[in-house]
């Protein structure tokens, strides 16, 4: 591309620029994009990669999203539920290992029992993980879907300070195609605003390579992240799961696997260029496509990773997409392997710290 240097030199990317960058195909051009994104990461959020121990505490789900392996209608999944002690134990383990923060993720539920469980568990983790190194206890991120304003507020008051809620796609028509009617785009958006209003550091993201999704959609996704002023971004490739209504796309997916993988890396890089000081996760789904996918994510500008801490015996039941790595039942901690992989890249780890989004801190101090 003739004017690639010009675009990469811009302080603010417009819609056209973003589209052009996402369309790059030549390896040398993609390498220039990658280098620039990595440079912008180093300058804006520093050299460290932050860890969040991921605990998938339950796969019960009331939703029936067409793409997801743990959707309500998938009767092949054995449903499980970690009890409070098990979750707290995983969290303590993570903090002892120096991970600094944890993510509690589950299928979606909104009943009182669930809400009370989350609040109690968050409170216990907060009080039982305080140490000299982390006087305020673990940093806690929740990823438990759409809830009411008052529920989010309870979660926040219990001590969670970050929340991940992906928009999945910022194109409302595409959103409607991959969700049942009971899951609405407008509601998802409203929830993101609730979370911001309450004071959470808010993360969102999309799936990349959905059937029917265009480069224009993905460019708008990046503008959407900017518009809602997201603090954290978690996105990854869409990967077909056989026991879903979208199983028919297996062939499409197989044929486009490399393209989707590259597109995911380009999305990370361009999001870094456009949003600069946010935290961006290199997601497990990237590694599901290629064994070193997560490492590539860091090289393309991501600065957060979520080692899986779900106890081994449950891992096979939390498979949202095919080929999910690290579901070996004899493994309880993916951190050590990830840490090795990160240090092998010559990158630095942010141990024993929360690694909050700098964007959030700036946003707060400007108020
Ligand atoms: N492929 C990739 N990502 C998926 N997710 C759910 N199902 C899939 C899939 N088949 C992602 C969604 C959700 C997150 C928890 O997992 O984006 O928000």
Per-residue pLDDT tens for 62-83? 999 999 999 999 999 999 999 9
| CB-based contacts of 13, cutoff 8 Å, min separation 6 | 7, 21, 270, 273, 274
pLDDT, tens digit, for every residue of 158-202?
Answer: 999 999 999 999 999 999 999 999 999 999 999 999 999 999 999
Distance (angstroms) between ligand 1 centre and the Cα of 28 equals 31
pLDDT of res. 336: 86
Instruction: Provide the pairing of β-strand 48-58 with 304-305.
Output: parallel
pLDDT, tens digit, for every residue of 89-113?
Answer: 999 999 999 999 999 999 999 999 9
Which atom of ligand 1 is the closest one to the Cα of 239? 1
Q: Counting runs of H as helices and runs of E as strands, what totals does the chain give? A: 15, 10
Mean pLDDT of the chain: 96
Which residue's CA lies nearest to atom 10 of ligand 1?
A: 321
| CB-based contacts of 220, cutoff 8 Å, min separation 6 | 15, 170, 171
Q: Is 319 in the pocket of ligand 1 (CB under 6 A)?
A: no
> Domain-by-domain residue ranges, the chain?
50-366
Query: How far is 75 from 217, CA to CA, in rounded Å?
Result: 33
pLDDT of res. 141: 98
Distance (angstroms) between ligand 1 centre and the Cα of 235 equals 9
Looking at the domain 50-366, which fold is it? TIM Barrel (3.20.20)
Q: Is 239 in the pocket of ligand 1 (CB under 6 A)?
A: yes
Query: How far is 154 from 253, CA to CA, in rounded Å?
Result: 40
* DSSP-derived 3-state class of residue 301: coil
Distance (angstroms) between ligand 1 centre and the Cα of 6 equals 35
Which atom of ligand 1 is the closest one to the Cα of 105? 15
Is the confidence at residue 140, as pLDDT, over 80? yes
Which residue's CA lies nearest to atom 14 of ligand 1?
A: 166
Query: How far is 73 from 78, CA to CA, in rounded Å?
Result: 12
Is the confidence at residue 2, as pLDDT, over 80? no
pLDDT of res. 335: 86
Mean pLDDT along residues 258-263:
97
- Per-residue DSSP letters for 27-85? HHHHHHHHHHHHHHHHHHH-SEEEEEEEEEEE---S---TT-TT-TT-TTSPP-B--HH
What angle do helix axes 84-96 and 112-128 make, rounded to 10 degrees? 30
pLDDT, tens digit, for every residue of 195-224?
Answer: 999 999 999 999 999 999 999 999 999 999
- 25's tokens: 């195909």
Is the confidence at residue 329, as pLDDT, over 80? no
pLDDT, tens digit, for every residue of 109-132?
Answer: 999 999 999 999 999 999 999 999
Mean pLDDT along residues 284-293:
94
| Burial 242-259, CB ≥16 within 10 A → b, else e | ebbebeebeeebeeebee
Mean pLDDT along residues 301-315:
95
Chain Cα centroid distance, residue 184: 20
Mean pLDDT along residues 314-324:
93
Which residue's CA lies nearest to atom 7 of ligand 1?
A: 68
Query: How far is 91 from 55, CA to CA, in rounded Å?
Result: 8
pLDDT, tens digit, for every residue of 141-157?
Answer: 999 999 999 999 999 99
The residue whose CB lies within 8 Å of the most ligand 1 atoms, and thus the one to mutate among 69, 207, 241, is: 207
Classify the C-alpha dihedral 298-169-364-146 as positive or negative: negative
pLDDT of res. 208: 98
pLDDT of res. 330: 74
Distance (angstroms) between ligand 1 centre and the Cα of 5 equals 34
């Amino acid at each position: 591309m003739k004017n690639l240097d010009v675009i990469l030199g811009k302080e603010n990317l417009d819609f056209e620029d973003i589209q052009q960058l996402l369309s790059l195909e030549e390896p040398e051009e993609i390498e220039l994009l990658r280098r620039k994104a990595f440079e912008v990461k180093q300058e804006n959020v520093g050299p460290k990669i932050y860890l969040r121990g991921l605990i998938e505490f339950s796969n019960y789900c009331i939703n029936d999203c067409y793409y997801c392996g743990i959707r309500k209608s998938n009767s092949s999944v054995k449903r499980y539920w970690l009890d409070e002690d098990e979750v707290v134990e995983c969290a303590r383990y993570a903090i002892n290992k120096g991970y600094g923060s944890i993510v509690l993720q589950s299928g979606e539920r909104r009943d009182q029992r669930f809400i009370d469980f989350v609040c109690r568990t968050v409170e216990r983790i907060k009080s039982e993980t305080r140490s000299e190194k982390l006087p305020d206890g673990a940093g806690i991120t929740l990823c438990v879907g759409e809830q009411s304003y008052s529920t989010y507020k309870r979660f926040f008051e219990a001590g969670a300070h970050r929340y991940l809620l992906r928009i999945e796609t910022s194109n409302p028509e595409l959103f409607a195609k991959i969700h049942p009617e009971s899951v609405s785009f407008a509601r998802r958006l409203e929830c993101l605003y609730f979370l911001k209003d309450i004071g959470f550091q808010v993360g969102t993201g999309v799936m990349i390579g959905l059937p029917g999704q265009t480069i224009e959609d993905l460019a708008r996704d990046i503008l959407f992240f900017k518009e809602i002023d997201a603090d954290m971004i978690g996105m990854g490739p869409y990967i077909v799961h056989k026991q879903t209504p979208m199983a028919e796309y297996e062939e499409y997916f197989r044929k486009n696997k490399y393209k989707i993988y590259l597109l995911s890396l380009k999305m990370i890089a361009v999001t870094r260029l456009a949003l600069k000081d946010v935290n961006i996760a290199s997601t497990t789904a990237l590694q599901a496509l290629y064994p070193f996918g997560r490492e590539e994510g860091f090289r393309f500008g991501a600065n957060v990773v979520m080692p899986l801490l779900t106890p081994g015996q449950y891992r096979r039941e939390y498979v949202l997409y095919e080929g999910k790595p690290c579901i070996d039942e004899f493994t309880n901690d993916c951190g050590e392997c990830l840490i090795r992989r990160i240090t092998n890249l010559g990158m630095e780890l942010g141990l024993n710290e929360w690694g909050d989004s700098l964007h959030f801190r700036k946003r707060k101090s400007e108020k």
